[in-house]
Amino acid sequence: MIAMRAGITMAALLLATISVRPAAACSMMRGYKVPTNLELAATADTIVIAQVDGEQKGEDAFGGVVLATPVTLLKGAVLPPRIEIDGAHLSDSPDMVFRNDPRELRRPNPGALIGGCVRYIFPTDARLLLFLKRDDAGKLVPYRSSFSRDAEDVTGPDALWAKAVREYVAIAALPKPKQRKAMEARVAALNATGDVDDAAIAADLKVELSHRRLPPFD
């Protein structure tokens, strides 16, 4: 179990005391960097919004599989029929489930700061924005990266995080030499609309332009 960072809620501290497989607790490699929003968008082969609708229970906290049905395609050619989130389970306990701040665009859901360093406990009614990548067999599976925003709650395609991800998908599709100018142009354009969501996305794009990233939590 990783050491807890000061500032994690008491509920998180209580949750961190549950029994877990030693192999499931994450161990950060030296030099690990939390992927930025642009890096998540660029790495993923497919990005979807998916509705959680079932689970396969495991022997312990990390042995189950959460099942979800994609409902909206944000990147990729085809909406996959089904998604399996390995090493995860469902719960409706307020002491175990963390709802992310719908106005947050940089920090991960608090559930990613405990246990296996990725969010692995989801509410039964969760609607998630998921980044998918093909495994060695060519199957699209959730891309999980420690402390990242790889499985955040959204209400739908008009949620702030979904809007921001679409911006990053468009930028990631450009050649790298053109990405900075594209972000600078989008910051100006979004700030000019007077819309609160556009302003929030513009502010996050400025963070991306600064090359600041979240450090691993220790």
- 135 found inside a domain: yes
> 203, exposed or middle or buried, with CB in 10 Å at 0-12, 13-18, 19+?
middle
> Quick check: is 16 in a domain?
yes
Taking only the tens place, the pLDDT of each residue in 165-215 is 999 999 999 999 999 999 999 999 999 999 999 999 999 999 999 988 887
Q: Is residue 176 part of a domain?
A: no
CB atoms within 10 A of CB 69: 15
Residue 133 lies in a domain: yes
Q: Give the percent of the chain with pLDDT over 70.
A: 86
- Domain of residue 31, CATH code: 2.40.50
Domain count for the chain, please give it: 1
| pTM assigned to the model | 0.86
Residue 198 lies in a domain: no
| Residue 172 lies inside a defined structural domain of this protein | no
- Rounded to the nearest 10°, the torsion over CA 93, 98, 101, 104 is -170
* Beta-strand pair 121-122/140-142: unpaired
Residue 194 lies in a domain: no
Q: Which residues of 42-61 are buried (b: 16+ CB within 10 A; e: fewer)?
A: bbbebbbbbebeebeeeeeb
Looking up tokens 């921001």, which residue turns up? 164
pLDDT score, position 44: 98
Residue 16 has pLDDT above 80, yes or no: no
Report if residue 164 sits inside a domain.
no
DSSP three-state, residue 41? helix
Helix (H, G, I), strand (E, B) or coil at 143: coil
CA distances to 41, 168, 179, 185, 197 from 205, rounded to whole Å, are: 13, 9, 11, 10, 12
What is the domain range of residue 29?
Answer: 11-156
